[in-house]
Structure 1
Amino acid sequence: MSDSIHATVPETIAANVQHLANSAQHGCGCSYEIYQDTFSQRVDALLATTEDSTAKAAILNVAREFDYVTRAELSAMREDWMDDGACRHGLDPDCCPLGCGDL
């Protein structure tokens, strides 16, 4: 997304965020936690492509509908998971599709 007038059109923003959500869902291994992490990273990358504060606010508004979390929120969630014995992805380490139990 660029800083053009088209980047601030609500339908364009919604379509871009929907695409990020769909893409993250396909690579999450059916794990909500991995989806949320991947999706949020992709939204952060999208946010970094614009200086327009109106566009950023619109992106964040739509992204929250798809369960976007900030890096700080994700970090706090990870601490809670790990305190409960889960891996950094919120799963039992021996069941993590990313191999956390192998570490």
Structure 2
Amino acid sequence: MPVRTFEIGEAIRLMREGKTVARAAWGNPGKYVYMQPAEEGLDPKTGVSIRINDHLMWKNDSGNHVPWTPSQDAVLAADWFVGESGNPEPECICISDWHATGRHRVTCPAREV
């Protein structure tokens, strides 16, 4: 089944919606990038409450989640997709039946969410 790929601008938009994204160029399975929403934390030096802004996180080969800054290669790539490396999600279609049922549903080939 074909997987829709896109550039990093679309990847960032999807991460803002809570999706995980990956690149076709990433060979090993299980890697992905996601946006960690802003949260409150503590300054380790002073113990004062601080705001930690939205930031990108990467689940790496070891299964660790670490801060991620895209490389120039990643910024210029057009092989981003929704899912994780080695396991892209099929393209989904949003079907709105809000007026009839008060809800939206997302339909994907071979599964319904």
- TM-score under structure 1 length normalisation: 0.25
Larger radius of gyration: 2
- TM-score under structure 2 length normalisation: 0.24
Greater fraction of residues in strand: 2
